Structures are given as C-alpha cells and as structure tokens.
Structure 1
Amino acid sequence: MRHSRNWTLGATTAVLVAAFTAPTLAQDAIRIIGHRSPPNEYYTDAMQKALPEGRVNVELMPIDKELELASITMSSKSDAIDVLYLTDSSLRRFAANGWLEPLDELWEKYKDEYNLDDFPQSVIDAVSYDGHIYSMPVLTNTELFFYRKDLFDEAGMPAPKTMDDYENAAAHFDSGRMSGTIMSLKPVDAALNETHWYLNAVGDGWFDDEWRPIFNQEAGVAAINRMKEMSQYAPRGFTSHANDESTINLQQGLAAMGLQWFTRAAAMDDPEQSRVVGKIDWVAPPGGGARLANDGFAISAFSSGDKEEMFRMLAEATSVESMTKGAEFSMPPRLSVLQNEELAKKYRWYPAALAALEGGKAFPAIADFNDVGEIVTRHVLRAVTGEVEVQAALDQAAKETEDLLASRGYYNN
C-alpha cells in the first residue's frame, strides 16, 4: 500500500516561502539546496564544476531547515528548487507525495557512460520508492563511536563494547572541564538518530510487523531510562546540540566520547580545527543498532529546468574518480571505491565504519517515519529532561504515533 501526506500551504508557510526565497538567479541557473556537512560541501562543489561557472547555485544549511524549506516549497509545487539533498527516510516521504522526478529512464540511458551498475543493489533500493529510482546516491553513512583513545589508554580502559561499558566510562571521565559524553538531542534529526540507537541497542526497536509501536514496552522504557541516565554526563545545552555542536565538543576536547557520523571523522584530525589530532579513535557503537543511511540528491518534479542536464551533473559529481577523492568525507556507495585497499590504509576510521555497518540499522522503511520521529522525539525530550516520567511520555508518543499511522491507512482495523 502506498501512503502519502498532502501538504497545504497556509498564510504562515507562505510567509516562510517568501523568507527562504533565493536571490534572483540567471534564467537557466540550477538551484541546489542541501544539508551543510563536509561530504555535501565536496559533492556540491563537484556539481558546480560539472557545468560552466555560474550555472549552479548551492545553498547549504542545517538539515532541519533544509527539509522545512523543501517541504514548504514543494508542497506549493513551486519550481524554486531544482535539486535537493535527501536522507533515505525523507526521500520516501517526498516520493510518496509526488514531489520528486523518477530517474529510471535517465538511469538506464546513462548507466554505461557513468558506470551506474557500480552502485550495489542495496544502495539502489535505498534511493528508490514504490519501484522507482528517485535519487543519485552520494554517500553511505553510518554512525561511529568516537572516543579519546589517549585518555582510555591512560586509564587502562578498553573501548566500550556494551552500553554498561559506555556509561561506566562516561562517569569516569566526566569532570568540570570535560563532559563524559556528547549527546545530540536537538529536534528532530539529531534527537531521532540518538533515540534510534538507544531503542535498538537497549530496546527492541520501533514497531512490530504490523507497524504498531513497541517502543513504549518494557525494553523501550529501559532504553529511554538509560538515555536519561546518560544525559547527566552530557554537555550543557545537549537538547539543542546536533552534529555541528557535538563535533566541536569532540574537536575541542570538551567531551570524551559519543555517537557521531562517519562524515565527521576526518575533522578530528584536521589541525586547523581540532585540538585532539591523533587522539580520537573509533569503534562500532556499543550495543549495535546505530543508524545507517544511504543519502543522495534528487530532482524536483516541479523544476522547470533541463532535468536531463541535472541528472548528468549529478552523475559527473558522483563518478568513480570523484568518489575516490570524496572518500575522505564519506563512505562512498560505489563498489569499486569501497573495495579500494589504499583508501582503507589512508583513512584510519574505515575499519570501524565497516564494523559499524555490520551492526547498524536503517530507520523503519515507511514514508511517514519523519512524522513519527517528530512525535517520538518531542516526548523523549520531555522524558529525558524530567518533565514527565519515561513510561508516561512513551505511552503518549505511542498513542499519537498509532493515531497518525491509522489516519494514513497503515492498519486494516
């Protein structure tokens, strides 16, 4: 069954559209919006280089703002956006709403020229919805466990393998000058990632086989209670921290460890930004179950530009040569690049990433998961900050989730 959500523009969202409107561009300019991150900076730069100077305009921003802008713009069927970065979960929602251009014909037409069969089927499946390809994959991303190996070695402690190990280490290293762990609970994306890890590592996940919530059952309550316990070792303001803030806390030696994306690993060894060069190491997240993602760039169904030209721009930017160079910033989804032994030697976080891939889990594969995430993270934050008891918060989240999914046709009764 295909589920969709139709968005309606009201007065408030119309104002937001006006506020987000880009400066006047050349008539044939391609407008790309994306999530501000090291790999997206690299790949959007490659897109700009694929076409003559001035043809491509790129705007990078925090992911929540990007998805808000994309949702508002595309729900109005505006052609103000041509190409947009989407996570695997947001892609399903956008495709279900009819906002994205299917790429199947262009994929088939150019698969030999751009060696598109080099993408494994699992990656193609991740950027597809309802049998159609909707996105050009740019990265396979996984969350790693970053930790101060120098401090662990001094204390005679091994890297954490279990959530008990993690909590004990956080308590040991927590001090007035350094937090025991980072914790990224800014709504929605960052909080959703952290919650996903706890619900898998300690709990039994999100749903049963019929998409009924199970996160408010005993194991889920234990998971969020563990998160609440761990929050005492997190930096101040952790409920407003996302990837950027947590990366800085690790780089500046303000936190000893924590969950963070593969794409942030290189920044730890950047001497221009980091005070902990050579001191951070990586392992698979304790307990397993941290998020896996296959993200990419899609073409708006409402773009008035040349969509074939946009597809070729994307294909050029994600060539084998480009992805080999981009491997510093993200795990490339091309088989030929993943199997490159020289890269594994060059980037010391690759072994941890491969281990994390084995134990990681993608978000539940439903088009409405982002909306579920908005509900659940809101109540998880209430629980972690002590506003309400954990069980009561998760019960309310489960009720609202079930009501939402029932209204979208997920249940037969």
Structure 2
Amino acid sequence: MSLKPLKTLTIGAVATLLASAAFANPYEKFEGTTVVVSWPALAHFQAAEELIEEFVEETGIDVEVDALQYLKLRDRQILEMSKPEGEYDVVSWVVMWKGEYVSKGLLTPLSEFFTSGSLVDPLYDIDDIADAYLQNGGVVGGTKGYMPGKSGALYGIPFGAETSILAYRKDIFEEQGIEVPTTYDELAAVMTKLDEAGIPALTSRGKTGHQVTAAWLLHLAPMGGKIFDEEWNPVVNSPEAVKAAEFLRHVARTGPTGIETFGFGEAAAAFLQGDAAMHLDTLKIAAMSRNPSLSKIDGKVGYALHPVGTRCGSETGGFAMGIPANAPNKEAAFLFIQYMTSKAGDQRMVELGGDPIRISTLQNNADKFPDYTVTAEQLPCADPDWRPLIPEWNEINIDVLGQALTQVITTDDPIQPIMDEANEKLRAIMEREGYYTWANYRKSQ
C-alpha cells in the first residue's frame, strides 16, 4: 500500500525536475543553430557587431550577418523572401518598405512569438520602446495601412530608428551672437545672417531622387503639409508644401557648396568637418559628432528641438527588424531580436556607439549625452505620417518628387507650377493603383 503514493510522488518529482531543466535556459534548445541576418552596412549596425558576439557567447546560437549597402538591401531581401524557403532568418528594413513586405506576405507577425512563455522574456517591456519608433517601423495595417490604429499588427521591432533634431555649432552661434532658433521664421533669419557673415548655414541632402525628397519632407511636416489628404488626394502643391519647397531653396542658397549633390553622408560630413553651422536631419548626427574618425567638431556641438512651423512635426524613419515568412529558424530569430532590443541590449548599443530605441535608455544616459534629453522631448512630436509608407512610395519619392525638387533647388523657376505638375503625376499613379476605386464607386451610386 505504501508503494502507490511513493510511485506517484516519484513520477511527479521527475516531471517537475524535467520541466525545470527544460526551462532553465531558454536558449539551450537552439544551441548550435545559425541565425542569418540581413541588414545594412551602416554605423549603428556595425556598432552592433560586438553585441552579436556577446549574444553568441551567452546563448550558443551562431549568427551570420549579410551586410549590404542599404540601397541594395530591398531587392536582395525581396528575392530571398520570395523563395519557398529563404536563407534569411532576420531582415532589417527601412521603414518605407514595411507595407510592401507585408502586402506581399513576406513577413511573420510577431504575435506568433509574443504568445510563447518559453520565448518571451517577462522583463522585455515592449512598452518602454519609443512608441513613434515602434509604430513607424514595425506596425502595419492601421490607419492608411501604415499608421497607428486598431487594425494594425506588429511585424518588426525598431533597431536603428530615428527622428530629427537640430545640431548646431555652439562656438559659431556665440561668436555671431545668435540665439538657437525654435521656429522656422527664426531658423530662416539665422540662415540669412550666417550667409551674410560668409558662413555656410544649414547643410542638407539635395541629390536628385530620394535624398532631396527627404530634405523637403523635413520641412513639410512642421510647416503643416502632407503628401496626401485623408482620401488619398495628393496635396504636394498646397500652400504649405510650396512654402516648404521655398525654404529648401533658401537652404541650398545659404548652405555649403554642393548641396545639390549631397546624400546623407555628404550632408553630414559638411557639418562634421566644420563646413556648415547647422544640421537639421536625423539624430544620428550626434553619435557621429562624437566619433573622432568622422568629426572635427566634438565638444562644439549643441542640440535643440526641430524648429516648429505651424506645428511640431519631426521625422520618423530608420530601420526595424523582423522575421521573414520563409525563415528556416524563426524561434531562434525571435530570441536574437529580443536580445538585441532588450533593455540590456539597448544600453550596450549606447556603449558601443549606436542609437537607443527605449525611453528608459534615453533617460538613464541623459547626463552623459545631452542630445538624449532633446530626443526624448522630441519623440512625442515625431510625425507617424511624415511620409506615406505605401508600396508606391518608391516611385513617388524618386521619380516624381525627387525630380521636381531638384528643379526647385537648382533653378530659379517659379515653384508653384513645379509642384502643380508633380501633383498631377502623383494623382495619375494613385489612379493607376486603384486608390480612388471606392470614391469613384460612391460617386456612381
């Protein structure tokens, strides 16, 4: 009689021990697995290489990185993710690609992994990730298909995300008796004053295509402009949009020589090498200014909020990471993404020279990096509709706006007709892609 309860107790004890062993190390199951990661050959991701080494050492999961120049990344990823089984376990995308990837069925919803108690670290705290970054880079299917909304779903976690802030030369401002501008009217006046003093004012992107479009978008949002209204009617010829184009022309004429040839790298270099007094673009300029291999102005740079026009409206952009639908090692891929974007991982990225995505990281490091305080204050103004993250954006961005805005900054032609023509081309694209189907249907009833 005494053997039955003893046997029951023994079986229960063994089950408990086995369960404890199974969950003692969440990585053990995947030891020896190789996660293949596709991401851009940019500074933030290069800084992450040491963190990857730490991940491999701690988890036993190997990582292979395929780093490409980011303009080549999309075509390579689409090719690989369109196969029955792909090579990549993790892909990192520029935010404007997310809608295309999801519409083509190329990504795995992350809810598939966040429901697993064995995969999700209870201390991960996704609510600590800056909402603007998470929504902009990782959520698809909300308002307009790419903005926050109840119909949205999470497909990626931000990594290398950004908003825009103003960087300026403290020494030049002091010498010239200039106050830091807080509005666009003040910024325009500062640019004029610096130009009259023979000092190149605001560096900027300006190269034909997506670079000059990005430069214009930086000013469009705070000036109250949009690309489309709520019914997908293009409004790039609105008074606000034309004013932003006029301001961009002023930037090109008072800034460093060669703006019309500048991509982001050249625009940043002009500031970092001391050839411009201001930089109004991604916050990544702060980490770059502290890098002695890139910067001659470390210690001379101040940071301020993106100036306000009719409203505040800074950039939303950068990168996010997710898991292809055809990834061979999805669970190990999730563990990699979770590790890299955890609170500890985010702090390590700061220590390695990268850019944080978490509010707590910004707050915890504000004493060391003055730009973090500015960034934390700026993020509530980051515009989720800064650019339309729709599959057609690549064509609109490069072939339409990128051509029109080159004409704006390289000629004296009247701006309104340039933007009127661009608006007509945008409408033709949207008509071709069926965006007015429902409006036309309602009109016919």
Q: Give yes or no for contact 2:213–2:405 (8 Å, CA) kept in 1.
A: no
| Residue among 100, 106, 128 paired with 2:139 | 128
The residue type equivalent to 2:124 in the other structure is N
Query: In the alignment, which residue of structure 2 is the partner of 1:19?
Result: none
What is the alpha-carbon distance in structure 2 between the residues aligned to residue 80 and residue 404 of structure 1?
34
Q: What SS does the aligned partner of 1:58 have?
A: strand
- Please identify, of 36-45 and 213-222, the stretch whose mean Cα deviation from structure 2 is larger: 36-45
Q: Give yes or no for contact 1:47–1:314 (8 Å, CA) kept in 2.
A: no
Cα distance, 1:150 vs structure 2: 0.7
Q: Give yes or no for contact 1:31–1:80 (8 Å, CA) kept in 2.
A: yes
What is the alpha-carbon distance in structure 2 between the residues aligned to residue 326 and residue 147 of structure 1?
25
Alignment of 1:201-216 (within 5 A): 201-216=222-237
The residue type equivalent to 1:115 in the other structure is Y
Alignment of 1:73-112 (within 5 A): 73-74=80-81, 79-109=86-116, 110-112=119-121
Corresponding position: 1:151 with 2:151: no
Number of residue equivalences: 384
- Please identify, of 362-371 and 239-248, the stretch whose mean Cα deviation from structure 2 is larger: 362-371
Corresponding position: 1:295 with 2:302: no
The residue type equivalent to 1:215 in the other structure is V
Q: Give yes or no for contact 2:86–2:326 (8 Å, CA) kept in 1.
A: yes
Alignment of 1:171-190 (within 5 A): 171-174=192-195, 179-186=200-207, 188-190=209-211
Q: What SS does the aligned partner of 2:333 have?
A: helix
Q: Give yes or no for contact 2:363–2:372 (8 Å, CA) kept in 1.
A: no
Q: Deviations over 1:264-301 (max 9, x none)?
A: 20221233432111111111122242312363112222
**CA 1:143–1:125 in structure 2 vs 1: closer, same or farther (change >3 Å)?**
closer
The residue type equivalent to 1:406 in the other structure is E
What is the alpha-carbon distance in structure 2 between the residues aligned to residue 373 and residue 313 of structure 1?
33
What is the alpha-carbon distance in structure 2 between the residues aligned to residue 84 and residue 61 of structure 1?
12
Corresponding position: 1:381 with 2:402: no
Corresponding position: 1:64 with 2:71: yes
| Residue among 327, 335, 343 paired with 2:350 | 327
Q: Give yes or no for contact 2:55–2:61 (8 Å, CA) kept in 1.
A: no
Alignment of 1:145-294 (within 5 A): 145-174=166-195, 179-186=200-207, 188-287=209-308, 288-293=312-317
* Structure 1: segments with no counterpart, 5+ residues: 1-26
Q: Give yes or no for contact 2:98–2:389 (8 Å, CA) kept in 1.
A: no
- Please identify, of 402-411 and 140-149, the stretch whose mean Cα deviation from structure 2 is larger: 402-411
- Please identify, of 268-277 and 42-51, the stretch whose mean Cα deviation from structure 2 is larger: 42-51
What is the alpha-carbon distance in structure 2 between the residues aligned to residue 389 and residue 78 of structure 1?
52
| Residue among 429, 435, 438 paired with 1:404 | 429
**CA 1:203–1:334 in structure 2 vs 1: closer, same or farther (change >3 Å)?**
closer
Q: Give yes or no for contact 2:160–2:355 (8 Å, CA) kept in 1.
A: yes
**CA 1:184–1:32 in structure 2 vs 1: closer, same or farther (change >3 Å)?**
same
Cα distance, 1:366 vs structure 2: 4.2
Cα distance, 1:158 vs structure 2: 0.5
| Residue among 34, 41, 54 paired with 2:39 | 34
The residue type equivalent to 1:152 in the other structure is F
Q: Give yes or no for contact 1:96–1:367 (8 Å, CA) kept in 2.
A: no
**CA 1:59–1:236 in structure 2 vs 1: closer, same or farther (change >3 Å)?**
farther
- Please identify, of 395-404 and 72-81, the stretch whose mean Cα deviation from structure 2 is larger: 72-81
Cα distance, 1:224 vs structure 2: 0.5
Cα distance, 1:145 vs structure 2: 0.8
What is the alpha-carbon distance in structure 1 between the residues aligned to residue 359 and residue 372 of structure 2?
15
| Residue among 27, 46, 52 paired with 1:47 | 52
Cα distance, 1:357 vs structure 2: 2.0
What is the alpha-carbon distance in structure 1 between the residues aligned to residue 130 and residue 300 of structure 2?
37
**CA 1:241–1:74 in structure 2 vs 1: closer, same or farther (change >3 Å)?**
farther
Cα distance, 1:380 vs structure 2: 1.4
Q: Give yes or no for contact 1:106–1:311 (8 Å, CA) kept in 2.
A: yes
What is the alpha-carbon distance in structure 2 between the residues aligned to residue 283 and residue 43 of structure 1?
27
* Structure 2: segments with no counterpart, 5+ residues: 1-31, 142-151, 441-445
**CA 1:103–1:387 in structure 2 vs 1: closer, same or farther (change >3 Å)?**
farther
Q: Give yes or no for contact 1:262–1:330 (8 Å, CA) kept in 2.
A: no
**CA 1:140–1:226 in structure 2 vs 1: closer, same or farther (change >3 Å)?**
same
The residue type equivalent to 2:139 in the other structure is S
- Please identify, of 142-151 and 394-403, the stretch whose mean Cα deviation from structure 2 is larger: 394-403
Structure 1 ranges of 4+ moved more than 6 A: none
Q: Deviations over 1:223-254 (max 9, x none)?
A: 21221122112333323322222222111101
What is the alpha-carbon distance in structure 2 between the residues aligned to residue 400 and residue 142 of structure 1?
29
Cα distance, 1:147 vs structure 2: 0.8
Percent identity between matched residues is 22
Cα distance, 1:349 vs structure 2: 0.8
Cα distance, 1:77 vs structure 2: 6.6
Q: Give yes or no for contact 2:206–2:215 (8 Å, CA) kept in 1.
A: yes
Q: What SS does the aligned partner of 1:297 have?
A: strand
Q: Deviations over 1:54-86 (max 9, x none)?
A: 943324344323234334554567724442222
What is the alpha-carbon distance in structure 1 between the residues aligned to residue 168 and residue 355 of structure 2?
20
Query: In the alignment, which residue of structure 2 is the partner of 1:6?
Result: none
What is the alpha-carbon distance in structure 2 between the residues aligned to residue 230 and residue 107 of structure 1?
46
Alignment of 1:334-353 (within 5 A): 334-340=358-364, 343-353=365-375
The residue type equivalent to 1:193 in the other structure is A
Query: In the alignment, which residue of structure 1 is the partner of 2:336?
Result: 313
Larger radius of gyration: 2
Q: Deviations over 1:354-409 (max 9, x none)?
A: 23223332334542334432232222122222285422322222122222223333
**CA 1:327–1:251 in structure 2 vs 1: closer, same or farther (change >3 Å)?**
same
Cα distance, 1:124 vs structure 2: 4.4
Cα distance, 1:101 vs structure 2: 2.0
- Structure 1 length normalisation: TM-score? 0.82
What is the alpha-carbon distance in structure 1 between the residues aligned to residue 235 and residue 403 of structure 2?
17
Q: Deviations over 1:185-208 (max 9, x none)?
A: 235543333221221233522221
The residue type equivalent to 1:146 in the other structure is A
The residue type equivalent to 1:290 in the other structure is S
Query: In the alignment, which residue of structure 2 is the partner of 1:5?
Result: none
